[in-house]
Amino acid sequence: MEQRHLGRTGLRVSRIGLGTLTWARDTGEHDAADQLKVFRDNGGTLIDTADVYADGGSEYLLGRLLDSLVPRRDLVIATKAGSVPDPDHRFDGSRGHLLAALDASLDRLGTDYVDLWQVHAFDPLTPLDETLQALDIAVSSGRARYVGVSNFCGWQLAKAATWQLAAPGSRTRLASTQMEYSLLQRGIEREVLPAALDLGVGLLPSSPLGRGVLTAKYRHTTPPDSRGASEQLAPFVEPYLDEPASRIVEAVATAADGLAVTPLHVALAWIRDRPGVVAPIVGARTARQLRAALSVEALTLPDEICQALDDVSAPVHRYPDQDWSTL
């Protein structure tokens, strides 16, 4: 699999990442091991997890598989901290919480360092400079090689990157930002993506298959073994089952028929090759599903199909994104 630099850093990662959101919850150790083996055998290196996935179970399961199945040195491990299960305080970006969470992640993963440590979300109740100081400490102490953010809007990303450049003594720079991005969710193109491109921050799209909807499996019914049929996950899928989304899915399916590939391949190839994108993070229930996704490596979409998909999925961006003087 092709390797790409993560933003303006020397860190190289596979251009498809493996997400572990369901590990230790819907995906047991045997299936997780199969996925990790398939991923590595296909040249994958970037594994994405978080301290809140399965209440830490995802990290623990990944740690159990390290070395026994795949050497630690062969993987680029990315995890996150900052989300908390408290309904009154969903995010905690304080220095104390973040560094304690990092130590706990390292313990569960059974490793001395993570390759990429990400702040899971912006905390409006903690001064941003305190959050960023935690990133400095993580890197200077050797517990994290690179750092990034997740779910930061455009001004938050720009403020964080600017603070790092301007703060006396700061040596750490953001390598990445992880955001939901797909043909069904192009909202980051308004401000986040331009900011990331300007700042040299690599983009790691989450939910690149539109929460599974872009595979076209929901075109006619809801498969009983899908997220849409799960009581827990159905609300996660439901926003992308409306009429505008249906038109985009039909366009993806039409393109797939013309190229003799699957809708999954078309949707994943489109997002993988967007400007600023380093590696879409793909989650799978089974090794077979993951293998199908990784086979997209051989596909590059023709320009005319990319343009058609751009047109059918184009978000509405007016003032102030357009030139206001001509309106």
Predicted pLDDT of residue 90: 85
118-122, 142-146, 233-237, 253-257: segment of lowest average pLDDT = 233-237
Domain 3-212+275-301 has CATH 3.20.20.100: yes
The Cβ of residue 205 has, within 10 Å, a number of other Cβ atoms equal to: 26
Task: Quickly state the pLDDT bin for 322 (edges 50, 70, 90).
Answer: low
Taking the alpha carbons at both ends of the chain, their separation in whole angstroms is 46
Residue in 53, 146, 181, 240 annotated catalytic: 53
User: Does the active-site annotation cover 53?
Assistant: yes
User: Residue 220 above 80 pLDDT?
Assistant: no
- What backbone phi and psi angles, to 5 degrees, belong to 138? -60, -40
| Per-domain boundaries in the chain | 3-212+275-301
User: Residue 88 above 80 pLDDT?
Assistant: no
Give the tens place of pLDDT for each residue, 235-277: 888 888 899 999 999 999 999 999 999 999 999 999 999 999 9
CB neighbour list of residue 269: distance below 8 Å, 6 or more residues apart: 296, 299, 300, 301
Check: CB of residue 152 under 8 Å from CB of residue 122: yes
Of 30, 42, 106, 51, nearest in space to 74 by CA: 42
User: Residue 324 above 60 pLDDT?
Assistant: no
Check: CB of residue 148 under 8 Å from CB of residue 201: yes
Give the tens place of pLDDT for each residue, 7-44: 999 999 999 999 999 999 989 999 999 999 999 999 99
Q: What are the distances in angstroms from CA 224 to CA 58, 217, 234, 249?
A: 24, 11, 11, 20
Predicted pLDDT of residue 326: 53
